[in-house]
Structure 1
Amino acid sequence: MNKVRGYFLTQGCSLTKCLFVLGLFFLLHPRNYAQENRKDSLLVQINKLRSSQNFSYKDTLHIKMLNDLAQELRFYKVDSLLLLSQDALNHSKASGYNTGECRALMGLGDYYSDNGKHKKALLYYNSALSLSTKTQNKDLILESKDNLAGEYSYRGDYAKALSHYLEGIDMATEFGDKKMLSIMNENVANLYAAQKDYAQALIFYKKVKKFNEEIGNEVFSAETMSNIASIYADMNKLDYAMFNANSSITVFEKHQVMDWLAYAYEIKGKTYLKGQKYKWALHWYKQSEMLHQNLEDFRGEIDLLNGMAKAYFGLKKDSLAEVYALKAFGISERLKFLKGKQQCAETLYKVNKNKNDFSTALKYHEIYQTLSDTLTRSENRKSLTMLKTKMEHEKQKEDLIKENKKQLSQQRNYMYASLGFLLIFIVVSFLVHRSDKIQKKLNIELKQKTEDLELKQNELREINETKDKLFSIIGHDLRGPIGAFQGLLKLLKEGEVGQSEFMEFVPKLRHDIDHISFTLNNLLSWGQTQMNGSVTRPSLVNVESIVKENMHLLSEIAEKKSIKLSSQLSSNTVAWSDSDQIDIVIRNLMSNALKFTPNNGMVTISSNEMSHFWQISVRDTGVGIDQEIIQKLFRKKSNVTTYGTNNEKGTGLGLSLCKEMVEKNGGDIWVESHIRKGSTFHFTIPKAKKKYQQAG
């Protein structure tokens, strides 16, 4: 997980009790850190201001220093962040100091965010945004937007996070705030990295690096380099990852930025982990762990602990791996941090699987799978895709504007030249116009010919693919049974097999001929669709009748395997589809269900009425389908021969044909399956409108 960048102030419980505790803390924990010099300086200034004559707690300078100190202590004394922010909020309200109130609200949001209390964090961040918008404070509006987006990102709601980041980027562009442009673009890059779209993430980091160069702050650049190192590690570009990690470490050590230094050490450990250098990985993870002893950066600690667990796992020290993974999982659960919980669950699954504790392993695998689905849900992917499209559109628009400016400049030069050379201008204009007209005509002809050629190439390619597949199936799945039949007839003719022996082969011959007939029907139907010879003619279709006809047709196969065929369709299951095509779909799905269901199983056909569609489901209690095979089932070019529970042969053509037939009728088809539990194939077809039903 990449570290989210935020806007931290660089200038600048009772409250007295809080300051006393802080002073005692720094006295008992002397360190030469630049960050702590900043804290010490603020403490001295606050105490000096309080001892001055006519001091008032409502003094805006006093409130500003309280907010500054609260932010400096965020990852060191989180309780002090709460106390100082509360006091700053109270004094700001009493004095009507809106800026102080807004920063205090964000400080409280930071506290609850770091402790995993998302609702409270969002409440305070939204309050800060409302107040900053009301007072038209541009800096505070941008900070509030960035905080809100970051909080939604921690919750795994990337769509809302992206929305706030985009609004913030537009505002920062309008305000000319390069610092916030750097931060927000980097955080958008982190969203893409979370979705494993590293190419798009690196595009945003390229923008960020440009902003950082213009700002000229080497700490900002180091923060970006450490995040880039994390992405390169995930991409297994370990040399790039190590270079960026080392570069950022140098800067953080120089400026003593401890929370980011701990993160950079962790990324270096992660890089060695990716290279399976587990001892070196542990070395750098332990360097980070030492720094975390003096930090309260709980989210950063999750990746560190989980990384150490993976390193110990790689060294076959499973007990230590489990200890660190469980600790990381506990922190993730406490903070309600979905991404961290997902990664820890994956590690715990592997550890328990290695221990042969399959029950616990399954529990963590289910947690990992559920969280993976949540974090990669479609609205997140859609939002990120929309942003990518928007960026491409803006780039095209920008290129078009540049091109237009270039053309306008050229035209302007021609116009200026024409003032002195009017006659030459007329001649040149005429030639240019004629040339342009000819060129356009040639371009149109060339474009048309290119399109025609591409169309013909595509048609030829599809025809070749159809031909190859037809010959493949005929050669592979029809030639065998036919050849066996020919061989048996030859033996009978030559007298090597008697009539009684021949009759023993009759059941198998009948089975082979049924298989050939079924395959030929599918081949003819599929060939028609590929050669544009199949036309979909929708009409009123009673799906229940089609199901019953196919149950009767396949009843003998079902009886041989003692499989129970059950229809749960009602007589009102009336669709608006091509009856022949739907008949092919249902027959193929039922045939497949019988093929892959062992003896004494059950095949059930049911329907579910939706607003505009019928969802037809064919469920079996068969062997199930592996997820890797599911991804290939409906592919157009798929041609995998499979064998049923009684060694029944199939071409893999049926499901491809089903997909084409269903889609021609305006529906969708998909499958749900569990190994050794069975499979359910679903497809949808349009419902018959009431006026058609009545007419029928």
Structure 2
Amino acid sequence: MLSISAHKLRIIYLKKILAIVTIISIYTQAAVLHASITSSSSFTFELNSKKSETAKDTTYIKALNEKALHLRYFKTDSLLFFANKALHLSEEIKYTAGKSNALLLLANYHSDHGNNKEAISYYKKALTESKNISGSNIQLAIMNSFARSYYYNGNYAKSLSIYLEAVELATDAGNLKMLAVMNENIANLYKAQKDYEQALVFLKKSIKLNDSIANDLNSAKTYSNFASVYGEIGNFEHAMFNINKSITIFEEYNNIRWIAHSYRIKGDIYLKQQKYDWAIRWYDQSALLYNKIKNNRGKIELLNGLSYAYYGLEKDSISEVYAVEAYTKAQNINSISNVEIASNILYKIGKRKHDYENALTYLEVYKQVTDSLSKTENGHSLRMLKTKMDRDSQKETSAVVSKLELAKKQSFVYIIIAILLIWSVITFMMSKSRKAHKKLNTELQLKQVVLQNREEELEEINQTKDKLFSIIAHDLRGPIGALLDVLNMMKSGDIAISEFRDFVPKLIKDVDHISFTLNNLLSWGQTQMNGATTNSTTVELNSLVENNINLLAETAKNKSIILVNEMPERLHIFSDPDQIDIVIRNIISNALKFTPKGGVITVDAQVKYQFIEVTIKDTGIGMSDEALNKVFAQNGTYTTFGTNNEKGTGLGISLCKEMLENNGGNLWAKSKIGKGTSFYFTIPKGQDNYHQQIAG
């Protein structure tokens, strides 16, 4: 017994020594990192002390860009300052390389912060500038970051298109380093679609290229990705071998960001094996480093990992804290895949805690995001094929042009030779050459016209299809799927009938939403059919408004909202009454969704020339100009949640606009955040038969 106790004590002491060494190592690295960051302030002072002549020197601009690059994951505000300064100075002296690098840094800054629109704008500008620079290094770096930004947002087809173009450029330039990077990132695209076999093919290409140029740091990144893929397919032995190999290299280079990343991957591998304590141990070491740098995406993946590990240990309160933080951060930078992961674990936590309201809410979010990614990934197969076809078409066009050029050269040679022979032969060859050129040009023009016509037809069909599937996937499938899951849980005995009653109010709301959405969808579908007509007649507007107020009175009562009808009597319109009835119901329903309890919704109208202008005004939460533009965007289906988490179809306003335009009217709105929204629409004025009879 004594020997066993002594042996146990030795093991405990060894573990403590190992933990102390690990902590000292991490804090030593953090100290080096802190010293590097602190040096940026002295560098700023040095830059500000430069004379105006030096500020216009290319060496000075390079220093600005290099400093901004080093600060990307540490002091993003300083990155923004240095990059903007480098851009301004580069524009002054027309220094293309400096401008291109500065634009890339600004694009990366906005991408890291989830500002996708700004990031794409800067990437495009940077790419345009880089094409004026000899050599491929800058252009390839921009294309790599540009493609990665589309990958983060789930647009795999666009990402792949850029990567394929970059692979060709890197191959032509003999740039093996960037060729390895591109193959590795293409592997990540396949991993995101769970095509692990194809991902491994591209990773093997990448590691072979890295070995050929003896690039240890890039090889370590590839080993890390190998480990992640092997972990997903359950090959834990290979996964652990590769992650340990990558950690060793990263620690040799003291690369804090990638050390943190590799620690997280190692935690993921233990998590897959359900070794939750070991997973948390490596996640905690990763967190110590992530707290020293600013890598939002890596931090979110770490938080999701911690949440699942603590859930596995049945420590739901801790798991929920990490999951909520991950969910919030993922929404802030529009990281859809991380929203999916976080909403799934929050649903599981809510279900286990018997918090069915939250569980069902997060289940619906999870279903919507999963359906969205599933739809996107299914579409990606077609889009990737289309991308390949487009690229093949471009190659074919280029081949035709090359043939034309070759034919011209051959014709010139023939002419020179023919001059030495007979004039008749010269005339014959020139005539033949012209006919060949004309025929080739005609064929090329015809092909381009046919391709253009087909592309326009396909675009029109895709717009209608995308809108239809967007509504079905996001606004019908989610609530129906959630309803089915609850019914299955009750059938299988996961929840009792008494617990099922807790879900009933939420399910009733979902069914009401589904019914309303289907009505709108059927009405919109009818407007898209060939031969759909508008049957206009004279109708009293006030009766349409009053009928809809009575119909929606119960909804208004539940939210303590007052519906006020200030419509003048005997206002007649000339329109299709069924379509105008749908318009009024949709706009009032939207107002009810986005008006908090105790609010007021007012319906009014006035005669303006040959039209009646109707105003539906609410005291709700209002919208920003950007949101308002999205609501009225052509072919858009912008949706958001109401004040009581009511869901919108994103089709209502689009349907209203189409119907009003079919009736000779128009629709617009004004809104201010916190002050409410006013929708306005016009309808042709109708003849008042009552007054006609009196006058007669």
Question: Could you tell me the TM-score, scaled by structure 1's length?
Answer: 0.52
Q: Does 1:320 align with 2:278?
A: yes
Q: How far did 1:526 drift?
A: 9.3
For 1:142, the equivalent position in structure 2 comes to: 100
Amino acid aligned to 2:563: L
Amino acid aligned to 1:109: A
Asked whether the 8 Å contact 2:176–2:213 carries over to 1, the reply is no
Q: How far did 1:312 drift?
A: 1.8
1:549 paired residue among 547, 550, 554? 547
For 2:72, the equivalent position in structure 1 comes to: 113
Amino acid aligned to 2:578: D
Amino acid aligned to 2:264: N
Q: How far did 1:343 drift?
A: 2.5
Q: Does 1:687 align with 2:681?
A: yes
Q: Does 1:665 align with 2:624?
A: no
For 2:63, the equivalent position in structure 1 comes to: 104
Asked whether the 8 Å contact 2:190–2:198 carries over to 1, the reply is yes
Give the 3 Å change call, closer, same or farther, for CA 85–179 of structure 1 in structure 2. Answer: farther
| CA–CA separation in structure 2 for the residues paired with 1:290 and 1:542 | 76
1:234 paired residue among 184, 192, 207? 192
Q: Does 1:346 align with 2:346?
A: no
- The SS at the match of 1:127 is helix
For 1:535, the equivalent position in structure 2 comes to: 534
For 1:70, the equivalent position in structure 2 comes to: none
Q: Does 1:275 align with 2:279?
A: no
1:166 paired residue among 120, 124, 127? 124
| CA–CA separation in structure 2 for the residues paired with 1:176 and 1:348 | 47
Asked whether the 8 Å contact 2:37–2:71 carries over to 1, the reply is no
Give the 3 Å change call, closer, same or farther, for CA 585–93 of structure 1 in structure 2. Answer: closer
Asked whether the 8 Å contact 1:345–1:367 carries over to 2, the reply is yes
Q: Does 1:79 align with 2:38?
A: no
Number of residue pairs aligned between Structure 1 and Structure 2: 488
| CA–CA separation in structure 1 for the residues paired with 2:559 and 2:108 | 54
- The SS at the match of 2:564 is coil
How large is the RMSD of aligned CA atoms in angstroms? 6.4
Q: How far did 1:190 drift?
A: 1.3
Asked whether the 8 Å contact 1:269–1:281 carries over to 2, the reply is yes
Deviations along 1:401-430, whole A, 9 cap, x unmatched?
A: 875786798799699799837998999999
Asked whether the 8 Å contact 1:342–1:371 carries over to 2, the reply is yes
Give the 3 Å change call, closer, same or farther, for CA 201–155 of structure 1 in structure 2. Answer: same
% identical aligned pairs: 19
Asked whether the 8 Å contact 1:282–1:311 carries over to 2, the reply is yes
Greater Cα offset, 167-176 or 388-397: 388-397
Deviations along 1:504-531, whole A, 9 cap, x unmatched?
A: xxxxxxxxxxxxxx9xx99998998668
| CA–CA separation in structure 2 for the residues paired with 1:168 and 1:522 | 44
- The SS at the match of 1:569 is strand
Amino acid aligned to 2:67: L
- The SS at the match of 2:143 is helix
For 1:310, the equivalent position in structure 2 comes to: 268
| CA–CA separation in structure 1 for the residues paired with 2:539 and 2:289 | 59
Q: How far did 1:313 drift?
A: 1.7
Deviations along 1:576-599, whole A, 9 cap, x unmatched?
A: 9754334357779999xxxxxxxx
Give the 3 Å change call, closer, same or farther, for CA 141–311 of structure 1 in structure 2. Answer: same
Deviations along 1:62-121, whole A, 9 cap, x unmatched?
A: xxxxxxxxxxx9998673586499569849947948344223323332343231x21111
2:112 paired residue among 154, 166, 180? 154
Q: Does 1:220 align with 2:178?
A: yes
| CA–CA separation in structure 2 for the residues paired with 1:524 and 1:281 | 51
| CA–CA separation in structure 1 for the residues paired with 2:396 and 2:212 | 42
| CA–CA separation in structure 1 for the residues paired with 2:332 and 2:140 | 28
Q: How far did 1:690 drift?
A: 13
Superposition pairs for residues 68-467 of structure 1, below 5 Å? 79-80=35-36, 83=39, 90=46, 93=50, 96=54, 98-115=57-74, 117-250=75-208, 252=210, 257-325=215-283, 328=286, 331-332=289-290, 335-376=293-334, 420=424
Asked whether the 8 Å contact 1:252–1:258 carries over to 2, the reply is yes
Q: How far did 1:251 drift?
A: 5.2
Give the 3 Å change call, closer, same or farther, for CA 409–420 of structure 1 in structure 2. Answer: farther
| CA–CA separation in structure 1 for the residues paired with 2:310 and 2:405 | 69
Q: Does 1:569 align with 2:569?
A: no
Asked whether the 8 Å contact 1:218–1:251 carries over to 2, the reply is yes
| CA–CA separation in structure 2 for the residues paired with 1:348 and 1:151 | 27
Give the 3 Å change call, closer, same or farther, for CA 355–409 of structure 1 in structure 2. Answer: same
For 1:580, the equivalent position in structure 2 comes to: 578
Q: How far did 1:189 drift?
A: 1.8
Give the 3 Å change call, closer, same or farther, for CA 154–333 of structure 1 in structure 2. Answer: farther
Amino acid aligned to 2:562: Q
Q: How far did 1:535 drift?
A: 0.8
Amino acid aligned to 1:283: F
Q: How far did 1:332 drift?
A: 4.8
Give the 3 Å change call, closer, same or farther, for CA 208–589 of structure 1 in structure 2. Answer: closer
Asked whether the 8 Å contact 1:114–1:298 carries over to 2, the reply is no
Asked whether the 8 Å contact 1:93–1:101 carries over to 2, the reply is no
Amino acid aligned to 1:281: A
Q: How far did 1:265 drift?
A: 1.7
| CA–CA separation in structure 2 for the residues paired with 1:196 and 1:340 | 16
Asked whether the 8 Å contact 1:85–1:105 carries over to 2, the reply is no
- The SS at the match of 1:687 is strand
Deviations along 1:303-353, whole A, 9 cap, x unmatched?
A: 323322322221112233344445545655654433223323433443344
For 1:627, the equivalent position in structure 2 comes to: none
Q: How far did 1:272 drift?
A: 0.6
- The SS at the match of 2:107 is helix
- The SS at the match of 1:129 is helix
Deviations along 1:214-272, whole A, 9 cap, x unmatched?
A: 33343333333333333332233323333443444455467664432331221111111
Give the 3 Å change call, closer, same or farther, for CA 310–431 of structure 1 in structure 2. Answer: closer
Q: How far did 1:616 drift?
A: 8.7
Looking at CA atoms only, which structure, 1 or 2, has the larger radius of gyration?
A: 1
Give the 3 Å change call, closer, same or farther, for CA 84–310 of structure 1 in structure 2. Answer: closer
| CA–CA separation in structure 1 for the residues paired with 2:45 and 2:253 | 25
| CA–CA separation in structure 2 for the residues paired with 1:159 and 1:361 | 33
Q: How far did 1:273 drift?
A: 1.9
- The SS at the match of 2:166 is helix
Superposition pairs for residues 481-496 of structure 1, below 5 Å? none
Q: How far did 1:178 drift?
A: 1.6
Asked whether the 8 Å contact 1:226–1:244 carries over to 2, the reply is yes
Asked whether the 8 Å contact 1:89–1:104 carries over to 2, the reply is no
Greater Cα offset, 173-182 or 92-101: 92-101
